[in-house]
Amino acid sequence: MTPMPPSGSNLRGAVDLSSLVNRPAAPTSGAAGTGSSATPGATVPVPALVLDGTDANFGELLELSNTVPVLVDLWAEWCEPCKQLTPVLERLVTEYAGKFVLAKVDVDSNPQLSQAFQAQSIPTVAAVIGGQPVQLFNGALPEAQIREVLARLLEVAAEQGVTGSAQVADSPAAEAEPVEEPLPPHHVEAYEAIERGDYETARAEYRTALAQNPNDTMAVAGLAQASLLGRLQGKTLDDIRGGAASAPQDLDAQLLVADLDLSGGHVEDAFDRLLTLFPAQDPAGRNTIRERILELFEVVGLEDPRVAPTRKRLTALLY
């Protein structure tokens, strides 16, 4: 399900962290420490942009959140979707060059934080801004959706006066601000359209990019992601699952549930649903399912380990 971007109205009271805020300060253990107040736009030294958040050191991370937003990734070693999501978050925190830090919380080792963030399922991603918690999303979402959430998160942080940045201690300032290659114009337009929820315009921009360069793999992936977001826009989880349950022969309803599953990180469920539907369809229905599966491959990434076995099953069904 498409995550609800954070807003100023839902920043406070979402999670009870009082037991962690009010405990005595723990000895510094490599997380981070800041002063009790922060100057807007200040730079704070940290040992790394990706930190381990624990029941013992989270008070320090709460303090850090007065200067820079702290993204919280609640995970566990046995959680397969976590293994897909965490590397994306780690890459994005580096790409954003200190605009936020990432705190990884192993829920099995840190039951207080797990309870405080109400992590009923994992992965769960939250944030802390100025000591206040923000619930973000559950599941291993597509990268395009995660970028949307992060963009809104930084907007909310700015509204709260949390506009600092984190810099790895002893690293040159120039290294903290890497120069990125500019996106092609149509990609920029598509990304801006996605940020404002205009997925039709985003699809049009990606199609134009592909018309100009059919080998633009970023445009192929972007078009698939924008199409997925567009199909889910304005629909609730109950609407989608209820519609599929009441019309098990309705291919469009079943395709939409697969979209929902994949967007929530249940990638295997999405692919299995589509492959199970395949044999009972007429040629047109089979082709629709085949095209949808290939599109969802682009959403999760062709290097995703779940793509190869799904492709093998699809090939067996086709031939």
More confident residue, 118 or 291: 291
Residues 6+ apart with CB under 8 A from 276: none
Pick the last residue of a domain from 157, 176, 195.
176
Amino acid letter, residue 192: E
Q: Indicate if the pLDDT at residue 69 is higher than 50.
A: yes
Neighbours of 267 (CB within 10 A): 25
Q: Which of 80-84, 86-90, 163-167, 184-188 has the lowest mean pLDDT?
A: 163-167
| Residue 78 falls inside a structural domain | yes
Q: 179 pLDDT band (50/70/90 cuts)?
A: low
Number of domains in the chain: 2
Q: Indicate if the pLDDT at residue 137 is higher than 80.
A: yes
Give residue for tokens 């490599």: 30
Q: Indicate if the pLDDT at residue 109 is higher than 60.
A: yes
120 and 53, same structural domain?
yes
Q: Indicate if the pLDDT at residue 273 is higher than 90.
A: yes
**Residue 119 maps to which CATH number?**
3.40.30.10
Please give the C-alpha separations between residue 104 and each of 50, 110, 207, 210, 244, in angstroms, as whole numbers.
Answer: 7, 11, 37, 37, 36
89 and 197, same structural domain?
no
Pick the last residue of a domain from 132, 148, 176.
176
What would the pLDDT profile of 46-65 be if each residue is shown by its tens digit?
Answer: 888 998 988 888 888 888 88
Question: Phi and psi (nearest 5°) for 191?
Answer: -65, -40
Residues 6+ apart with CB under 8 A from 272: none
276 and 142, same structural domain?
no
| Residue 2 falls inside a structural domain | no
Range of the domain at 154: 8-176
Q: Tell me the whole-structure pTM to 2 decimals.
A: 0.48
Q: Mind telling me the catalytic residues? A: 79, 82
| Residue 1 falls inside a structural domain | no
92 and 146, same structural domain?
yes
Q: What angle do CA 70, 304, 301 make, to 5 degrees?
A: 80
Instruction: Give the pLDDT confidence score for residue 285 in this predicted structure.
Output: 94
Pick the last residue of a domain from 118, 147, 176.
176
Question: Phi and psi (nearest 5°) for 73?
Answer: -110, 105
- As a whole number, mean pLDDT of residues 70-94 equals 90
247 and 120, same structural domain?
no
